[in-house]
Amino acid sequence: MIAFDFAQLRLIGLQQAIAGAATQLDISSPAAQLLRVSAVHRDSILVHDGTQEHPAQVLPRLLYALLAQDTIVTVGDWVVAEHDGHDTLWITAHLSPVTQISRRGNDGRRQVLASNVDTALLVMGLDGDFNPRRLERYLAIVLAAQVSPVVVLSKADVADDVPGKLAQLKQRLPPHVPLLAIDTRHAYDVAILEPWLGTGQTLVLLGSSGAGKSSLTNTLSATQQATNGVRHGDGRGRHTTTARSLHLCASGACIIDTPGLRSWQADADAQTLAATFNDIAALASTCQFRDCQHASEPGCQVRGAVDADRLRNYHKLLRDARRGEETPLERIAARAKWKTILKAGQERSRQKRQE
């Protein structure tokens, strides 16, 4: 069993589920410490003991074991570490996360973004960053990870047609998802987030570059992250945050800032993602055909009742998820099938031209 100060670690997000798991670890060393990963850089890791940060390294055998499970040590993880005779702090054990937000890269590999998160603040600017389709994808992935979402809309002071954009989002997003328009630079505006900032709570900021994530981190915590403007040509943000990092808030919560993300591929199966579009799922249950694809089938109750662009986004997410579930052999077979179909179409076109 490992001994730890719950009250001290509560300040960096320790909750009963993790504390209970820690007490079950078979660890006899009196020097072992329960710590939280606060930053992961390319060649270094920082861990937090509730008072200050310390540099640490992952024990090679633990690193190999995590890689075999298709995961790595990431920000928000709880770990056990101890010093060796040369004063190097080694991470020797990793506690399975309660929640974990991740995505799939274009090569299919899994990228973990944050662990043990209670609330995801989905930050989107009301200026050139405004993109309901991208926000829906963020929302679906967060819900699939069983993390509570809160949509934070920034830059209302410089955006055009703010009421129209708010109305558009209210029409498209599920009614249970909070939708807040704030100035991320001012504490009196950010105070509206207080219900999600209780002691022991962990939040993660997700959004594209330039959306205002680092400004929000600065307002909520004592940390002063660098901030940057958007490009004048297209309104897109410049990358300011280059690594995920955990910061303490005065309220007792902690917040994980992340680099900007524009495109995500879901790290969830099609069934899980479909469940996050609960309005479509509810209507689909009343369609005439059980396997209705909501395209051109008669008796479809979804078409016309759901925003057409939202429905297209829903189908795209499902296609991405199904592709991610395919084995290499299935992908090869699918490519061969479409090559055959393409060649047949080309041959028919050639024959028609010759007639």
pLDDT value at position 236? Answer: 47
Regarding whether 110 and 44 lie in a shared domain, the answer is no
Cα(296)–Cα(61) distance, rounded to whole angstroms? 54
Cα(244)–Cα(73) distance, rounded to whole angstroms? 12
Among 78, 94, 110, give the residue marking a domain's end: 94
pLDDT value at position 114? Answer: 93
Token pair listed for 149:
């979402």
Regarding whether 196 and 116 lie in a shared domain, the answer is yes
31, 125, 163, 164, 332 from 159: Cα distances, Å: 54, 8, 10, 11, 46
217, 249, 250 from 223: Cα distances, Å: 7, 9, 11
DSSP one-letter code for 230: B
Segment 269-321, tens digit of pLDDT:
777 777 778 788 888 888 888 888 888 888 888 887 888 888 888 888 888 77
pLDDT value at position 326? Answer: 64
Q: How many domains does the chain have?
A: 3
Containing structural domain, residue 50 = 6-94
pLDDT value at position 258? Answer: 87
Quickly state the pLDDT bin for 107 (edges 50, 70, 90): low
Looking at the chain, list the stretches that DSSP marks H as alpha helix, in order from N- to C-terminal side. 6-10, 16-23, 60-68, 132-144, 162-172, 187-190, 213-220, 270-276, 278-284, 308-325, 328-354
**CATH assignment of the domain containing 302:** 1.10.40.50
**Does residue 338 lie within any of the structural domains?**
no
**Does residue 187 lie within any of the structural domains?**
yes
DSSP one-letter code for 239: P
pLDDT value at position 122? Answer: 93
Regarding whether 105 and 245 lie in a shared domain, the answer is yes
Cα(245)–Cα(247) distance, rounded to whole angstroms? 7
Segment 235-283, tens digit of pLDDT:
444 444 457 889 998 888 999 998 866 566 667 777 777 777 878 888 8
Quote helix, strand, coil % in the chain, to nearest 5. 35, 20, 45
Segment 41-67, tens digit of pLDDT:
878 899 999 999 999 999 999 999 999
**Does residue 333 lie within any of the structural domains?**
no
Complete DSSP assignment for 52-64: -EEEEEE-HHHHH
Complete DSSP assignment for 163-189: HHHHHHHHHHS-TTS-EEE--TT-HHH
Among 74, 94, 114, give the residue marking a domain's end: 94
Regarding whether 277 and 165 lie in a shared domain, the answer is no
Nearest to 234 by CA among 259, 262, 267, 206: 262
Write down the mean pLDDT value for the chain. 84
Regarding whether 90 and 105 lie in a shared domain, the answer is no
Token pair listed for 338:
């479409």
pLDDT value at position 239? Answer: 44
CB 259 within 8 A of CB 242: yes
Regarding whether 232 and 292 lie in a shared domain, the answer is no
Regarding whether 307 and 289 lie in a shared domain, the answer is yes
**Does residue 75 lie within any of the structural domains?**
yes
**Does residue 264 lie within any of the structural domains?**
no
**CATH assignment of the domain containing 250:** 3.40.50.300
Cα(169)–Cα(310) distance, rounded to whole angstroms? 11
Regarding whether 146 and 90 lie in a shared domain, the answer is no
**Does residue 154 lie within any of the structural domains?**
yes
Largest CA distance in the chain: 87
pLDDT value at position 6? Answer: 93
Regarding whether 70 and 10 lie in a shared domain, the answer is yes
Predicted TM-score (pTM) of the model is 0.81
pLDDT value at position 232? Answer: 44
**Does residue 355 lie within any of the structural domains?**
no
CA–centroid distance for 54 within its chain? 26
Complete DSSP assignment for 93-113: EEPPPS-EEEEE-TTS-EEEE
β partners of residue 121:
150, 205
Among 208, 230, 257, give the residue marking a domain's end: 257
Regarding whether 299 and 172 lie in a shared domain, the answer is no
**CATH assignment of the domain containing 72:** 2.40.50.140
Nearest to 4 by CA among 16, 19, 17: 19
CB 1 within 8 A of CB 27: yes
**Does residue 316 lie within any of the structural domains?**
yes
Least confident of 132-141, 225-234, 262-271: 225-234
Cα(47)–Cα(34) distance, rounded to whole angstroms? 10
Regarding whether 314 and 205 lie in a shared domain, the answer is no
**Residue 306 vs residue 199, higher pLDDT:** 199
Regarding whether 142 and 46 lie in a shared domain, the answer is no
